[in-house]
């Protein structure tokens, strides 16, 4: 149901090799809404997203799925409800695009690969949405970086979960497919009630696609709220370490402009 909390993290403290990289962070993803995580490199965005996907154990804090402890679920049950598109995945040699997209149906199949009557239709839908239908029989190790990124996105869509986590999904994509990917994200939330958490670097794209932004800096959540509330010149300039001008254009969209040494306001 839209508006009901789907996946959340509270008081999450996360570390690598004993070094804390995220400090007591909280985030809430709700059905039918898109939450974008923004902030400079090393701020903890991807680590926080991975912790929600149960791929990074927390030193402290909790992850809840529909109000229950997410860690208590069996991996297969969790994978039927939450999926994550990571920044990089190993490229399987000699495997066709359609077969890679079909990986997304693994949580629904028996140990013998049977018992998934909805699988073929959902695989076809995922490839259609991501524009990879025409390359269905190509080997994935022959694809460009952008093509491969769309295939992995299709794999996540084929998994057909209520929560979708995306770590920089527009990486390697040209402008057309960046926009089409963000359109898919918006459609999934608006038309299918999916709860989406997405890490983005482009501030204008984040403002355009998200209902809510979470701003991280040095491992801490600095602000959470609607784009026009969070994207202020003072906050962004402090977080990113350079002057960033923010304005609302004639269509009511938030626009940001970093100001370098060779640029004027």
- pLDDT, mean of residues 36-60: 95
Are residues 155 and 112 located together in one domain of the fold? yes
CA 88 – CA 19 distance, rounded (Å) = 23
Query: What pairing do the DSSP bridges indicate for beta strands 60-65 and 5-16?
Result: antiparallel
The 10 Å Cβ neighbour count of residue 86 is: 16
CA 219 – CA 25 distance, rounded (Å) = 8
Q: Please report the pLDDT score of residue 4 as a whole number.
A: 58
Phi, psi at residue 119, to the nearest 5°? -55, -55
CA 46 – CA 213 distance, rounded (Å) = 14
With bands split at pLDDT 50, 70 and 90, how would you rate the model's confidence at 253?
Answer: confident
**pLDDT tens-digit series, residues 151-192:** 999 999 999 999 999 999 998 899 999 999 999 999 999 999
Is 22 exposed, middle or buried (CB count within 10 Å of its CB: 0-12, 13-18, 19+)?
buried
Of 160, 182, 201, which residue is a domain's last?
A: 160
CA 100 – CA 154 distance, rounded (Å) = 9
- Domain presence at residue 232: no
What is the pLDDT of the chain when averaged over all its residues?
Answer: 92
Of 133, 160, 187, which residue is a domain's last?
A: 160
- Domain presence at residue 151: yes
Q: Please report the pLDDT score of residue 1 as a whole number.
A: 37
Evaluate if residue 256 carries a pLDDT over 80.
yes
User: Which residue range is the domain that position 110 belongs to?
Assistant: 88-160
Are residues 92 and 194 located together in one domain of the fold? no
Report the CATH number that the domain containing residue 171 is assigned in CATH.
3.40.50.300
> In total, how many domains does the chain have?
2
With bands split at pLDDT 50, 70 and 90, how would you rate the model's confidence at 112?
Answer: low
Phi, psi at residue 86, to the nearest 5°? -85, 170
Are residues 64 and 93 located together in one domain of the fold? no
């Amino acid at each position: 149901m839209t508006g009901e909390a789907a996946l959340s993290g509270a008081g999450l403290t996360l570390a690598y090799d004993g070094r804390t990289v995220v400090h007591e962070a909280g985030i809430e993803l709700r059905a039918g809404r898109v939450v974008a995580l923004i902030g400079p490199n090393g701020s903890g965005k991807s680590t926080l997203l991975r912790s929600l996907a149960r791929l990074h154990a927390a030193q402290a804090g909790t992850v809840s799925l529909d109000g229950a402890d997410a860690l208590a679920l069996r991996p297969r049950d969790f994978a039927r409800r939450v999926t994550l598109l990571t920044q990089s995945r190993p490229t399987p040699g000699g495997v066709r695009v359609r077969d890679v997209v079909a990986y997304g149906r693994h949580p629904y199949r028996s140990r013998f690969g049977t018992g998934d009557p909805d699988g073929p239709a959902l695989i076809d839908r995922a490839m259609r949405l991501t524009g990879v239908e025409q390359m269905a029989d190509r080997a994935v190790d022959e694809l460009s970086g952008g093509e491969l990124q769309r295939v992995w996105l299709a794999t996540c869509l084929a998994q057909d979960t209520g929560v979708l986590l995306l770590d920089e999904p527009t990486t390697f994509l040209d402008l057309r497919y960046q926009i089409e990917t963000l359109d898919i994200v918006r459609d999934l939330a608006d038309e299918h009630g999916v709860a989406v958490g997405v890490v983005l670097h482009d501030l204008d794209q984040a403002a355009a696609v998200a209902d809510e932004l979470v701003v991280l800096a040095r491992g801490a959540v600095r602000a959470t709220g609607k784009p026009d509330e969070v994207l202020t010149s003072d906050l962004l300039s402090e977080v990113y370490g350079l002057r960033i001008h923010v304005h609302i254009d004639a269509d009511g969209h938030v626009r940001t402009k970093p100001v370098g040494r060779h640029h004027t306001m």
